[in-house]
Structure 1
Amino acid sequence: MTVTLADVAARAGVSAATVSRVLNGNYPVATATRSRVLRAVEELEYVVNGPASSLAAASSDLVGVLVNDIADPFFGIIAGAVQDTIGPVTSVPAQGRKLAVICNTGGSPERELTYLTLLQRQRAAAVVLTGSGTDDPGHRAALAARLRRLAAGGVRVVLCGRPLPAEEHGGADGADPAAGTAPEVDGPRPRPVEVPLDNEGGARALTEHLLALGHRRIGHLAGPDHRSTTRHRLAGHRAAMTAAGLPPTPDHLLIHGTFHRDSGYAGALRLLDADPGLTAIAAANDTAALGVCAALRDRGLRVPQDVSVTGFDDLPFAADVAPGLTTVRLPLRETGQAAGRVALGAEVPEDGVVPPEPARVVARDSTAPPRG
């Protein structure tokens, strides 16, 4: 069902002429009225440049790439690979090139939805959502409906390193609770394409590596507890513990934090206070692992002689820190390239999923058998 100017006017409680004035900016409108109109536009996902169904016939050369934190090398590598794939400056002829627009959400679910609406209004040819998704049911429902609306309008939707939002959370008819209406699509609904990362398999292999060295008292610094990446990595860790016949990690040795250095530093100190005899710490990612190593140094402990440390992702600096960081190598650039090909329509998997490349453990000098 196409959202019209009249729908926006009804939601905002104003005339259609007032809505037009606000959107065109060609006539003064009271601040409170303008705010009501813009809120209604956002809630109804009104596409200023025409109905969403026309996007396929009049799309632009824009490809939106949504990242949680562009300053994080994890996202920078993926976004750079997408950009290089969709618009290489050396390509001849120029036809088929696309312009990547990097949208930094800061991890905000609300900002993520806003960017998707803005990209729809700009008639983007494709959107690529990278990184972890939130497990919040309300946001997953709104996101699923937003992505269906984009796909129904001809926008290629690519989920890079994150799962497809659960359809069942959006209601039987796929309604977006924030929009109040749902798109009506004749025939099969277009489906977003997933380009996954092997977070669960990588985490399982990493825990198996620590267990093979002889570690049993392992502190685990996990990512945010509401993020899909955290859930998948914890699932891999627990699967390895179960397969080895070991009990689950006790609550005092499992701490949730962010993927930043400061979180790794603070989390490591908490783990050491909870169990001074632990022999290994598995950090949420490579950046958090740097904070772990700094905390151990400040406590007078050596890596790996006293405590082994692992990261995740194998970011470029992991091989150059001292000691070299044992971590899981995710094929970030290759995954970004695959997402770019899907965004261009050059790769269309029949089942909607690009087979992931396996993650693998890169053993360096930050891990060793426990003393004694």
Structure 2
Amino acid sequence: MTFRAIADEAGVSIATVSRVVNGSAQVADETQRLVRQAAQRLGSGFARAPGAAPPVLVYCPYALTDYFGTIVTSVVETLALHGRRALVLAGESAQDDSSALRALPEQRGIAGAVLVLPPGPTPDLEALHARRYPLVVVDPRVELPEDIASVSAAHAAGARRVAQHLLALGHRRIGFIGGPRDWLASRNRLVGHTAALAEAGILPEPELLTEITEPTTDQGHVAARLLFSRTPRPTALVAFNDKTAAGAVRAAREAGLRVPADLSVTGFDDSELGQSITPALTTVRQPLAEMGRIAVSLLVRLVAGHAVDTLHVELATPLVVRDSTAPPPPAA
């Protein structure tokens, strides 16, 4: 059940639904009644029957496309297995309603929250942490305090495997397209990449390291073109995710380079995009659905007041070798 569905049924804005769910006093009594009736008609856990388990807020301030959609769907389905409904606050509505998280401790109708890659550090998250509110962060953008539960992929290990794969093929000039500078995943992947180079006795060359501000195909395209201007150009590119890798493949074709005969390209995520483009991407698999399932498992234990010894969980990131990587050309 999403805030948008309730808003459409009640004929109000998504922000109004969020305020009602979070117990805001700024909403008129009649409007609150309309929202609650709409939620009840839709079978939302927000308007649950007496004795039913309270729902969980699933907060994801991004469009629910491939990456985020997979995580949120897994969280919602796993909550259902535990007999709980989900109230999903996502996309622009999540970005616009800054009060949703801050008001959670005062909202008795919500048991806890799963936050998917929330921006941070933010006063809202810090306030929840100070109140010991039960929450789990999936794929945290920044380093979290030790006592905030989180689930993420092993970014450094995955990046290390990619670089080791390319080194084993014979590549020595490897371009690196990093993610947004302030993302924890970006920093960890750079650590893994440089560690693999160091093991092979190779010092990272600053001119082969670049970064993007958003993990999109267009930015991957621009970053790849920049790396192609280096002399000599790299024989392989490591992209931040499958989208940026797809942009790099497009840039290679425009430059007259064949993938993988002239240039190897790798991604990260193992998304449908990476599997469908030509050539299919060698990439790192992020266990997105499993991240959602474990986040719910942690949250259920926190809500029940159980002791949780391991609050920071990192899941394995295996390498998936496909058609976009090969040994460097003989002249390289």
Normalising by structure 1, we get a TM-score of 0.68
Separation in 2, partners of 1:302, 1:146: 52
Amino acid at match of 2:77: D
Is 1:308 the counterpart of 2:261? The answer is no
Cα pair distance change 1:322/1:150, threshold 3 Å: farther
Q: State yes or no: 1:201 paired with 2:145.
A: no
Offset, 1:329:
0.8
Off by >6 Å, runs of 4+ in structure 1:
none
The Cα shift of 1:111 comes to: 5.5
**Aligned residues of 1:77 and 1:332 also touching (Cα < 8 A):** yes
AA in 1 matched with 2:112:
A
Equivalent residue, structure 2, for 1:140: 121
- Deviation per CA, 1:81-127, whole angstroms, max 9, x where unpaired? 10000014xxxxxxx52222233356x9x768543125445442111
Structure 1 residues 111 and 241: alpha-carbon distance in aligned structure 2, compared to 1, 3 A threshold: farther
For residue 258 of structure 1, the aligned residue among 214, 222, 233 is 214
1:269 to 225, 234, 243: 225
Cα distance change, pair 213–112 in 1 and its aligned pair in 2 (3 A): farther
Question: In the aligned structure 2, how far is the partner of 1:236 from the partner of 1:143?
Answer: 31
Q: 1:205 and 1:111 mapped to 2: Cα distance?
A: 39
2:73 equivalent to 1:80 = yes
Distance 1:275-1:120 versus aligned 2 partners, 3 A rule: farther
Q: Percent identity?
A: 33
TM-score by length of 2: 0.75
Partner of 2:223, secondary structure, is helix
What is aligned with 1:367? 325
Q: How far apart, in 1, do the equivalents of 2:141 and 2:222 lie?
A: 30
Q: Secondary structure at the match of 1:76?
A: helix
Q: Residues of 1 paired with 2:158 and 2:97: CA distance?
A: 27
Distance 1:165 1:369 in 2: 37
Distance change >3 Å, CA 350–CA 61, structure 1 → 2: closer
Corresponding residue SS for 1:196 = strand
- Structure 2 vs 1, CA of residues 164 and 216 (structure 1 numbering), >3 Å: closer, same or farther? closer
- Matched pairs, number: 284
Q: What is the CA distance between 1:268 and its match in structure 2? A: 1.1
Q: Is the 8 A contact 2:141 2:183 kept in 1?
A: no
- Are residues 1:158 and 2:160 paired? no
Instruction: Indicate yes or no: 2:100 matched with 1:115.
Output: yes
> Residues 1-372 of structure 1: matches in 2 within 5 Å?
23=26, 25=28, 61-88=54-81, 97-104=83-90, 114-123=99-108, 124-131=110-117, 139-140=120-121, 142=123, 145-151=126-132, 155-162=133-140, 165-167=143-145, 191-275=147-231, 277-345=233-301, 350-353=308-311, 355-372=313-330
Matches of 1:229 and 1:158, distance apart in 2:
17
SS at match of 1:229: helix
Contact 1:141 1:165 in 2 (8 A): no
Give 1:360's aligned amino acid.
P
Distance 1:249 1:102, change over 3 A: farther
The equivalent residue for 1:45 is: none
Q: Which structure: larger Rg? A: 1
How far apart are 1:331 and its partner, in Å?
Answer: 1.1
- Following superposition, the deviation at residue 224 of structure 1 comes to 0.5
* Partner-residue secondary structure (3-state), 1:335: helix
Query: For residues 96 and 230 of structure 2, what CA distance do their matches in structure 1 show?
Result: 37
Cα separation, 1, equivalents of 2:195 and 2:251: 28
Any gaps of 5 or more consecutive residues in structure 1?
Answer: 1-20, 27-57, 89-95, 169-190
Report the CA distance between 1:146 and its aligned residue: 2.0
Structure 2 residue aligned with 1:34: none
CA deviation map 1:174-193 (0-9, x unaligned): xxxxxxxxxxxxxxxxx432
SS in 1 for 2:150: strand
Alpha-carbon distance, 1:143 to partner: 5.0
Whether contact under 8 Å (2:140, 2:184) holds in the other structure is yes
For the structure 1 residues 266 and 24, does the alpha-carbon distance in structure 2 shift closer, same or farther, using more than 3 Å as the test?
A: closer
Shift of 1:324: 1.1
Q: Which runs of 5+ in 2 are unaligned?
A: 1-23, 30-50
CA RMSD, 1 decimal: 3.1
Distance of aligned partners of 1:125 and 1:317 in 2 relative to their CA distance in 1, 3 Å threshold: same
Alpha-carbon separation, structure 2, partners of 1:59 and 1:267 = 51
Tell me which residue corresponds to 1:14: none
